[in-house]
Structure 1
């Protein structure tokens, strides 16, 4: 039995509606969870404010999705100077048109350190819908005021911010119109090609993603609520696109200095933040076990009469601790 094109399209529309219903359930679940737990987070903040090195110890125990991006030089700053950390779903209490409870902000508060002047670094991730059918996080680069010769991103973050501002200020080009790289974007691309070694965690502040403006998001959300879908050509679902235009978009994607920035954001918001007490407890337990092993080792050496120096305590990560040492 053959199926007509009209029947196939009708089925796709049913799937799209079903997907929208699942999305609404997820949205309301996040909203409800935030509502019933926000007072607990206030209490938690009051308690941990009395604990020295709470957040350095939590970040020292960070899950792999975060930890793998923290380089030794980052660790010396992140764990040695971080004073407070806060995550907020800023579009829940102050919703904007088309706002979403999945939009999240990250606020890092630092003590004086050798690398940058900022006392607070804050980055927002907006959950937005694009006319091309994309749904997900986008952000804007956050500049860091690095001290002379102390830029851990080797200039990538500053150029990412300049390239973003340059692109935002440029006249918008539609369709297959040529998208040429500006001066800052070209400099960023060359810098990325010349960059050697691992990328600093602080490059995460330069993540942009598939950027969608608030106006475009509001337009798409409003149309979806009324059941109106964007034309197929706007959603870029049809095959046979222009190869040259695709190459232009690839050039823009190549300018992402921290491609997995949204994944790290989700790990921070959905894992490290809600489970901070668990990670702090693990850090305390590891410290206790290390002390026992250290003392046990001393006793054995004394009994053997060797007099050799005790081995250093082994920690979870081979990186700088909150006090600037490496382990």
Structure 2
């Protein structure tokens, strides 16, 4: 008995690639339509929750476990005492050559906070395409002006800013012909010799606790390596040409792997927040759209904690204290109810250290 011949399909790689592109286009169109519907609602929500003390701090404390892995007790203290609001905006959604996937995430703080001089910490993420076929989000390190002795990253974000600036300067010199050798290996070798590169590796090695801070996220660049707007435009143009050929039924010849001016190894070694893209996605796709649900869940959890108190414990509590509104700051720090007098007015102790997995 002979095996039946395997069925032959007339579906080509070009057919599948074209279909995949159509799915991608549909997703982008969905983002644009959702933006039109949700934008006014988000604006209304911001106006409402601005009247609720510590709303966003409590939302962060009730975030998914995946997000908690990137927030230390010290970070929670900053959020509890200083965070005023969080905003997410798709800043390229109306630009002809922009991407609706590009987002800016803003953290607004009390201007008189004790931690840093900044009132707003803004992190931009551009959705770009690389010449090697990769596409995803890239960002630039954000300078945080920490007050003396308050830097939770122990200089890591400053080091990321310095290294990024040094790399841009080196790239500019290479483009102007003042740098010998432009191959990927040659360029990566030059970058690893930068004093800023050595400095950041030293800080990463010697500041393991500081590297756990959420605020290192402001130094995140990319899981792939930084992609400039110029490279993205060139890569997108080539991809559009390929797509046009596929739409016409023409066979697309895959180009031989080109020499890409890219530094994956360099950024893999010096990235101070390797999972920064995951953090951004949680904020954009979870915390931002479902903020009210997280806040409500926190309030319900606090009510449950109060209901579990024994009659004796309730009798021991001062009636006036029970009638007071819940101290959200204490709740954010891991306490279900306001600290009682007798602790010298000190705030609640932070929860146990959360470590990244």
TM-score interval, smaller chain: 0.7 to 0.9
Conservation of the 8 A alpha-carbon contact between 2:91 and 2:104: yes
Alpha-carbon distance in 1 for matches of 2:300, 2:311:
17
1:158 aligns with 2:158: yes
Aligned to 1:203: 216
CA deviations over 1:266-324 (Å, ceiling 9, x no partner): 0000000000010010111112122222364515889xxxxxxxxxxxx9987589995
1:272 aligns with 2:287: yes
Aligned mate of 2:197, from 167, 185, 194: 185
Conservation of the 8 A alpha-carbon contact between 2:84 and 2:108: yes
* Number of residue equivalences: 300
Greater mean deviation of Cα atoms: 50-59 or 159-168: 50-59
In structure 1, stretches of 5+ residues that fail to align are: 237-244, 303-314
C-alpha deviation, 1:45, in angstroms? 1.3
Aligned to 1:106: 105
In structure 2, stretches of 5+ residues that fail to align are: 175-181, 244-251, 318-329, 339-346, 352-357
Q: Over aligned residue pairs, what C-alpha RMSD do you find?
A: 3.1
SS in 2 for 1:226: helix
Alpha-carbon distance in 1 for matches of 2:348, 2:281:
29
Conservation of the 8 A alpha-carbon contact between 1:75 and 1:321: no
Aligned to 2:228: 213
Conservation of the 8 A alpha-carbon contact between 2:184 and 2:259: no
SS in 2 for 1:157: helix
Aligned to 1:261: 276
Aligned to 1:91: 92
C-alpha deviation, 1:200, in angstroms? 0.6
Structure 1 253/79 Cα, relative in aligned 2: closer, same or farther at 3 Å?
same
Conservation of the 8 A alpha-carbon contact between 1:157 and 1:206: yes
CA deviations over 1:199-250 (Å, ceiling 9, x no partner): 21000000001211111112222232232677231387xxxxxxxx99x742
Aligned mate of 1:224, from 204, 218, 239: 239
Alignment of 1:29-108 (within 5 A): 29-93=30-94, 95=95, 97=97, 99-108=98-107
Alpha-carbon distance in 2 for matches of 1:322, 1:116:
28
Aligned to 1:293: 308
Q: Please, what TM-score do these two structures have when normalized by structure 1?
A: 0.82
Aligned to 1:242: none
Structure 1 286/90 Cα, relative in aligned 2: closer, same or farther at 3 Å?
same
Structure 1 223/64 Cα, relative in aligned 2: closer, same or farther at 3 Å?
same
Alpha-carbon distance in 1 for matches of 2:131, 2:335:
45
Alpha-carbon distance in 2 for matches of 1:234, 1:296:
74
Conservation of the 8 A alpha-carbon contact between 1:79 and 1:320: no
SS in 2 for 1:114: coil
SS in 2 for 1:42: helix
Alpha-carbon distance in 2 for matches of 1:14, 1:321:
57
Greater mean deviation of Cα atoms: 248-257 or 140-149: 248-257
Q: Please, what TM-score do these two structures have when normalized by structure 2?
A: 0.76
Conservation of the 8 A alpha-carbon contact between 1:57 and 1:322: no
Alpha-carbon distance in 2 for matches of 1:321, 1:117:
31
Runs of 4 or more above 6 Å deviation? 315-318, 320-323
